[in-house]
Structure 1
């Protein structure tokens, strides 16, 4: 005889706050919401609103309260956790300081970053993301060769079973993390084997995973969201004001662990740690008290406003500074000294800023402040509506052009031919070269170059009087590799005009563009800052300047004992800049470097055995030589039709108007490349009209790659 039961069974639920396990009688068609109601004791005054069910064995959150247990796949042998969604995460900011933040571990990483930036007073959070801290060993091997975690259940000492990690894009572990299990020795709380350990943080806390910080008066920083941050590693004082200014140098322990890539291959491997924006922190193996790095990921910075973006500007300046000091970007000697001078001016302004200046606005009458705010708002509105060049309208009846005698060279192997003088005319995104100015009026050009979509690389050496522009031009039929041509100017003024014209032409903009004059002025300004001022008396004791804080190790070795003197000479050019002006000039100079904003990946194209570089920038992707970094071919996003990923074989295909490009990524998961491309396309869709709302749904649609 067969007895039909009521189809109910026992479900084990562990309440993490109480360290208590409860067994409930449930049915498969029962909704999660009803289970939560039975689980919470109505007589207990504790607020359970921030709690949700988490399934450790599957590493997923069960947040859809209307879903049934059957729909979620929960069965009688399952153990669920009833745990807070907001947990403490230790975050390393771009200025290398650490703060402990309350972060939503159940939300998608993109949403968690948005809320985190709101607490930190950083606008446009879509430009940032979280990444796992890397160790030096990660730069020695590709992603596929790094130790990966197997998806097998692992039991903690308290009986909790985890599946570590979820199928995310960066399931690798540091080489020296003691991955195979056991506690770290310095931890009060035993750590789950297989969790991602970061490098030691500070002398008083030697492991990436920390025990909970005891609450002490004055440490908690509340926010409008109801969650706040612990000041755990530095005396931040007033939270947002201090994030707008950073210490001159981090602790020796933190600085010793900074990574300095020595080759293009190692620079490409820096991108292995980015989290998947479409998965939650818990789903990517991140647990409470783990450490992640908050960094600017997409190098296209929208609406940089000194009035509202002091924290954002400072953190961006700090990220730029450490990318220069860690030799992530190549710089000439003049550029390096210019960066050192600007950094010295920033530090000098911070040191000299009197305490009274912070409160200087208190004595100003409120009426004057109101008038200033109104005038500022009206000026911003006028610029927004009319454009920054509203008072200097362009005569659209005449196509603007540029003409002058310049020198031209098309470099080829096995030839000693030098530069040849031509009469250049720039018109309608094309360079037309004639033998003489008279020929331009009666004959066809000897050479014509289409600048739309080209790569523009400055090649300047002030000491040698060299002002050259390297152009990598796509062939007219868009097939085959890029061809390289060099243009050499006679002086700074000529160089600035032609470089600005080439940069705008590469973006499809003519000389009628309102930004042309400001682009010329910016180039001249950067050149002026690189020109040393000899014999200028600077009232600064050279013994108070430590060149180690301002120069990369390579440049420090090159300049040797003259380093401090050269820094102070370069500082004479920028000593009149205010604190914010110096930071903005630093960011501007950083953006002008040839390699700026190109995220590198080691790939193999379909059918090729040789590894190559893929460079991903804000408006294009580039096929590059692995050893030299030379651009072989460039594809613009505006010619892209679709991009897809075969998740089974981890292969990516990009469809362009005239060809398909198929490759596999070796230095990171292909999802990272996919997200970079989709993210940059999302960034390009931003405008002043909709900058108040962030379309998260569109971001995930462009970067998710799963649907």
Structure 2
């Protein structure tokens, strides 16, 4: 029997497909063995509209997934007669907030993995090494008050379905997926949106687009709250000039002015726990942004996720350097990372130099002022070879190159006791082959007699204990022991002595000896860092046109502490950096940021197996740390000893297997997938090399971070 040209009983059925561009629904006659590509072909033929449909794909709202595999059949995808599919563009408009807090309206692919979307976006923006960045959702103060597992659940209808009608997969980062369009959470203020003049070579960048959605509203973030009302019947869309303001700048130069509303929208953590809770917002790199609750015209933040910056080169990385500089600056201003008073003034001075140099002519890095990449690689290799052959300039008893390099000096030492008095004692220190030895006399040290104390520095935590204004040059060591991490302090007499021993301790913590070719450069870096913190002999001349707004230069903590002396102190610190070019000032800012003890440590609130109390887990590029809630280190594991890491997705427990330890924990402040991705991501980044930096192995990244294999 025939019905509407179809034979009843032939196994075919009507599939409902909603065409989002036309806001119309179509019934397509299909069978279970019809492949996805065939469904789209039939739909386009049925529409009979001459337009380019090549960027369209099928989205399944109730399953919260794309049907990307065009050769798969409906049966293979479990699509049945009750399904409603959306035929919608894969590239959609997304508002992207950059590390410098400006927002761009970009057209990105919502159907591919987030990692791939970030790669494509960074290519448009002119940012090399996109593997260092990722997307995260904008945070609110409320997210800092609760752990991820304790966050209030979103309201559901009587069928247990989210308001956007999407069932959420169990393996999604549910902070993201539970923040769909229609959620009641929103930021208090909208983000500022600044226009960008694309750099040469960025012709593929998408221009700032219309700020309207199909429903006539512009949404400020992924939580779906309206910013600008719009009637689709009233003329054209809001112009980019109205949306973005009137000033013009490239991504390599951030305008000094910032919208007050943008500043108010920033969250400011007050404790280590709140800092840990900020990491709930990272998207899952293995899923598309659409699968994680992001819809067209939503806002996502593009940030540097992994603090391992590879091959920063002023010739090619002006945009990347500026965005790293801005992310560092806002971390310091928001007190996401701690620093001393002298360090804060040094950062303010460098920022002042950046702002003053922004309007001055700068060296041209594009026309031969810097050697080619091949020449750079050859020169670097030759320099490393020369340093290795010549050896480090370390105090030693002999010039025999077979002799193990040794560093020795008279220093002060203190090891805290539970009820003891804090008193430093002088010892003769000898450091060789990752071991620190303390002797009562120089003679005992020279003859290598039995030491008073012996410490293995490999795997220790090294923290500066410096106050330049008080001539205090200390080093805090936290050394692995049977009872956790054992604290001890070293006090140096001057900055030269401090730089020498601090460099040795930092390298020893990474398992590198004094023979390492980077030792001398590490000493120089530490000395330069100290030198920049000293007030200049006399303040540099500051043009009257330069206006220093304290809140733009120092954190609120030091604004209150320094009050009326702040501007003068910044001027004094600026005298040390007044001769730096724009790019050099930014690079010095980044290097100083990297020298801070808390740099690059991503925190999570966790519970270790067999423990009832909450503790902190810190993940850095070269180590994983177990800490008390107050920040005291309990144990450190080096990344090079990590053998395996995986997740039990049923109970959301993560296991990390080291050479001498197995560690199992549950993450309370974020989904365990976020922790898994940080560990795998740092392993992936550690595999980069000069020989392999031309191609990005996405498959390897997902193997290390995905957690499904």
Normalization by structure 1: what TM-score?
0.88
Deviates more, 1:580-589 or 1:409-418: 409-418
* Aligned partners of 2:538 and 2:575 also within 8 Å: no
Cα distance, 1:538 vs. partner?
2.4
Cα distance, 1:392 vs. partner?
6.9
Number of positions where the alignment pairs a residue of Structure 1 with one of Structure 2: 666
Q: Measure the CA separation in 2 of the matches of 1:243 and 1:539.
A: 26
Cα distance, 1:539 vs. partner?
3.7
Say if 2:395 is the partner of 1:393.
no
Q: Measure the CA separation in 2 of the matches of 1:31 and 1:540.
A: 69
Q: Measure the CA separation in 1 of the matches of 2:479 and 2:701.
A: 32
Task: Name the SS for the 1:523 alignment partner.
Answer: helix
Cα distance, 1:212 vs. partner?
14
Say if 2:353 is the partner of 1:345.
yes
Task: Name the SS for the 1:71 alignment partner.
Answer: coil
Say if 2:674 is the partner of 1:672.
yes
Distance 1:390 1:106, change over 3 A: same
Distance 1:384 1:88, change over 3 A: same
Cα-to-partner distance string for 1:70-127 (whole Å, 9 max, x where unaligned): 0000000111111111111100000000001111100000010011100010011010
Deviates more, 1:416-425 or 1:495-504: 416-425
Say if 2:451 is the partner of 1:445.
yes
Q: 1:70 aligns with which of 75, 86, 99?
A: 75
Task: Name the SS for the 1:242 alignment partner.
Answer: coil
Q: 2:376 aligns with which of 370, 375, 380?
A: 380
Cα distance, 1:482 vs. partner?
1.2
Task: Name the SS for the 1:393 alignment partner.
Answer: helix
Q: 1:171 aligns with which of 169, 175, 190?
A: 175
Cα distance, 1:217 vs. partner?
12
Cα distance, 1:176 vs. partner?
14
Task: Name the SS for the 2:469 alignment partner.
Answer: coil
Say if 2:541 is the partner of 1:538.
yes
Q: 2:295 aligns with which of 276, 284, 287?
A: 287
Cα distance, 1:232 vs. partner?
5.2
Cα-to-partner distance string for 1:119-173 (whole Å, 9 max, x where unaligned): 01001101000000000111111111112345944577xxxx4446875214369
- Residue 418 (structure 1) aligns with: 423
Say if 2:475 is the partner of 1:472.
no
Counterparts of 1:587-598 in structure 2, within 5 Å, are 587-598=590-601
Counterparts of 1:111-130 in structure 2, within 5 Å, are 111-130=116-135
- Residue 257 (structure 1) aligns with: 265
Q: Measure the CA separation in 1 of the matches of 2:128 and 2:233.
A: 29
Task: Name the SS for the 2:71 alignment partner.
Answer: coil
Counterparts of 1:611-650 in structure 2, within 5 Å, are 611-627=614-630, 629-650=631-652
- Residue 463 (structure 1) aligns with: 469
Q: Measure the CA separation in 2 of the matches of 1:211 and 1:270.
A: 38
- Residue 433 (structure 1) aligns with: 438
Task: Name the SS for the 2:624 alignment partner.
Answer: strand
Task: Name the SS for the 1:398 alignment partner.
Answer: coil
Task: Name the SS for the 2:173 alignment partner.
Answer: coil
Cα distance, 1:614 vs. partner?
0.8
Cα-to-partner distance string for 1:624-653 (whole Å, 9 max, x where unaligned): 1102x0101111122222112111111111
* Aligned partners of 1:134 and 1:273 also within 8 Å: yes
- Residue 398 (structure 2) aligns with: none
Task: Name the SS for the 1:521 alignment partner.
Answer: helix
Q: Measure the CA separation in 1 of the matches of 2:10 and 2:308.
A: 60
Distance 1:387 1:23, change over 3 A: farther
* Aligned partners of 1:173 and 1:179 also within 8 Å: no
Q: Measure the CA separation in 2 of the matches of 1:255 and 1:645.
A: 37
Say if 2:611 is the partner of 1:608.
yes
Q: 1:139 aligns with which of 137, 141, 144?
A: 144
Deviates more, 1:442-451 or 1:682-691: 442-451
Q: Measure the CA separation in 2 of the matches of 1:547 and 1:181.
A: 32
Cα distance, 1:532 vs. partner?
0.8
- Residue 652 (structure 1) aligns with: 654
Task: Name the SS for the 1:346 alignment partner.
Answer: helix
* Aligned partners of 1:165 and 1:284 also within 8 Å: no
Q: Measure the CA separation in 1 of the matches of 2:546 and 2:54.
A: 58
Cα-to-partner distance string for 1:264-308 (whole Å, 9 max, x where unaligned): 111111101000000001110100000000000001111111111
Q: 1:686 aligns with which of 676, 685, 688?
A: 688
Q: 1:696 aligns with which of 695, 698, 709?
A: 698
Distance 1:254 1:206, change over 3 A: farther
Q: Measure the CA separation in 2 of the matches of 1:530 and 1:212.
A: 60
Deviates more, 1:299-308 or 1:30-39: 30-39
Distance 1:613 1:246, change over 3 A: same
Say if 2:109 is the partner of 1:104.
yes
Q: Measure the CA separation in 2 of the matches of 1:215 and 1:612.
A: 54
Distance 1:317 1:23, change over 3 A: same
Distance 1:35 1:361, change over 3 A: closer
Distance 1:384 1:535, change over 3 A: closer
Task: Name the SS for the 1:589 alignment partner.
Answer: helix
- Residue 20 (structure 2) aligns with: 16
Q: 1:233 aligns with which of 228, 232, 244?
A: 244
Distance 1:472 1:180, change over 3 A: closer
* Aligned partners of 2:540 and 2:572 also within 8 Å: no
* RMSD, matched Cα: 3.2
* Aligned partners of 2:387 and 2:517 also within 8 Å: no
Cα-to-partner distance string for 1:493-551 (whole Å, 9 max, x where unaligned): 00001101111111111222221111111111111110112543524449832212101
Deviates more, 1:278-287 or 1:540-549: 540-549
Cα-to-partner distance string for 1:427-485 (whole Å, 9 max, x where unaligned): 1111111111111233222221111111110110011111011111113xxx4301111
Counterparts of 1:181-196 in structure 2, within 5 Å, are 190=215
Q: Measure the CA separation in 2 of the matches of 1:36 and 1:144.
A: 40
Q: Measure the CA separation in 2 of the matches of 1:604 and 1:648.
A: 17
Deviates more, 1:143-152 or 1:323-332: 143-152
Q: Measure the CA separation in 1 of the matches of 2:32 and 2:626.
A: 53
Say if 2:516 is the partner of 1:502.
no
Distance 1:306 1:180, change over 3 A: closer
Deviates more, 1:375-384 or 1:505-514: 375-384
Q: Measure the CA separation in 2 of the matches of 1:378 and 1:71.
A: 50
- Residue 271 (structure 1) aligns with: 279
Task: Name the SS for the 2:72 alignment partner.
Answer: coil
Task: Name the SS for the 2:408 alignment partner.
Answer: strand
- Residue 35 (structure 1) aligns with: 39
Q: Measure the CA separation in 2 of the matches of 1:434 and 1:234.
A: 67
Cα-to-partner distance string for 1:661-704 (whole Å, 9 max, x where unaligned): 11111111111111111111111111111011111111111111
Task: Name the SS for the 2:673 alignment partner.
Answer: helix
Give the gaps of 5 or more residues in structure 1.
220-229, 363-368
Task: Name the SS for the 1:107 alignment partner.
Answer: coil
Give the gaps of 5 or more residues in structure 2.
1-6, 191-211, 392-400
Distance 1:577 1:407, change over 3 A: same
Q: Measure the CA separation in 2 of the matches of 1:54 and 1:686.
A: 36
Cα distance, 1:199 vs. partner?
9.5
Cα-to-partner distance string for 1:8-61 (whole Å, 9 max, x where unaligned): 100011111122211111100111112222222396441111111111111110
Distance 1:287 1:310, change over 3 A: same
Task: Name the SS for the 2:153 alignment partner.
Answer: coil
Q: Measure the CA separation in 2 of the matches of 1:11 and 1:196.
A: 33
Distance 1:310 1:384, change over 3 A: same
